[in-house]
Structure 1
Amino acid sequence: MGRKAKPIDLMLIQGKKHLTKKEIEQRQEAEAKLKPKSDKVKPPAWLDKIAKKEFKRIAKELEELDLITNVDINALAAYCDAYSDYIECTKIIQEEGMMVEYTNKAAETNKVPHPLLTKKKQLHEQMKSLAIEFGLTPSARAKIALPKKEEKPKTEEEILFGELL
């Protein structure tokens, strides 16, 4: 399976230009035509109070950077829903403790790790993968902000033989 396609502006920011100037211009025009509107970026009604608050906070930041559109709402809502569930799991674990008593079929009582620890880990992974998509982690932003590589002038051989070298 190939790599995910990146927007041309992101490719240019990262300094990866394997396209000609004409191809870059054509791609920028095509992407501009395909860019969805961002006039209805509001939290979905099904989100709970905590998730809606997080949605509004992140959406505000992304709108300032022109990085969110109407079609991104569900992905951001999924992140915020996982965030809300993560907070809820954390509160329950704090109240009940990291270890809970478990009585098995033989009526023996043992201390075991709280079952919500597994769910909390799953929610963290879900949040992390969605956060990367929106550039919400330091490493995701660092990849976007990599400085452009300076292009060296082409040698006479490179001009004449180009791709053959």
Structure 2
Amino acid sequence: MQKGNLTVITGQKRRTEEESVTTDKNQLKRPPKWLVDDIARKEWRRIVKELSQINLVGNLDLNNLGGYCNAFANYVKATEILKDQTYYIDRETRNGIIVVKNPMVDIQKGFAEEMRKFAGLCGMTIDSRLKVAAVKTESKEDNIKRQFGNI
């Protein structure tokens, strides 16, 4: 008996917590003007559409979403440049020619890391979406138990 009451209380608490952190989405309708290019704007529209379907983002996520989109656009540019180059280049020194890593590889890697950080902040990683799904599933189960009992 006590477990059932605790489950209902837990479910109500979760719903209240979710409602208290949900924000409007009106600022997400259009990409910010400070996005670096059309690639970033196209990515903005794509991810906002996807994340809105699972009700995961709001106005407070605008800067993180924009940061992700800019990092994505720069990653694409770096990848395009790197596509026509080798990963290692010959560098002439006083002692002769040495082979060093192409600096473009580090630039590409830096943008990939930036994308991962922003993606985690915005709920775009599989881990963050699974956490949300687990909470929503528990909430639905709690509602069913509350309506029909522990069948």
- TM-score scaled by length of structure 1: 0.66
1:75: which partner in 2?
64
Q: Percent identity?
A: 32
The aligned residue for residue 109 of structure 1 is 97
Following TM superposition, where does structure 1 have runs of at least 4 consecutive aligned residues deviating by more than 4 angstroms? 19-24
AA aligned to 2:22 is: K
Greater mean alpha carbon deviation, residues 33-42 or residues 59-68: 33-42
Q: 1:43 aligns with which of 15, 31, 35?
A: 31
Name the Cα RMSD after superposition: 2.7
User: Cα distance, 1:99 vs. partner?
Assistant: 1.5
Partner of 1:142: 130
CA spacing shift, 1:24–1:139, aligned 2, 3 Å: closer
Structure with greater proportional helix content = 2
**Partner in structure 2 of residue 132 of structure 1:** 120
The CA distance in 1 between the partners of 2:123 and 2:17, in whole Å, is 23
Given the superposition, is the C-alpha separation of residues 132 and 82 from structure 1 closer, same or farther in structure 2, using an over 3 Å criterion? same
One-letter amino acid of the counterpart of residue 113, structure 2? E
* Structure 2 unaligned residues grouped into runs of 5+: 1-5, 142-151
TM-score (norm 2): 0.71
Secondary structure (helix, strand or coil) at the match of 1:68 reads: coil
Return the alpha-carbon distance in structure 2 between the equivalents of residues 60 and 133 of structure 1: 17
Alignment of 1:82-97 (within 5 A): 82-97=71-86
Report the Cα distance in structure 1 between the residues aligned to 2:18 and 2:132, rounded to whole angstroms: 18
> Aligned partners of 1:27 and 1:139: how far apart in 2?
19
State the match for 1:99 in structure 2.
88
Report the Cα offset of residue 27 of structure 1. Answer: 6.2
CA distance in 2, matches of 1:143, 1:62: 14
How many positions carry a matched residue from both structures? 131
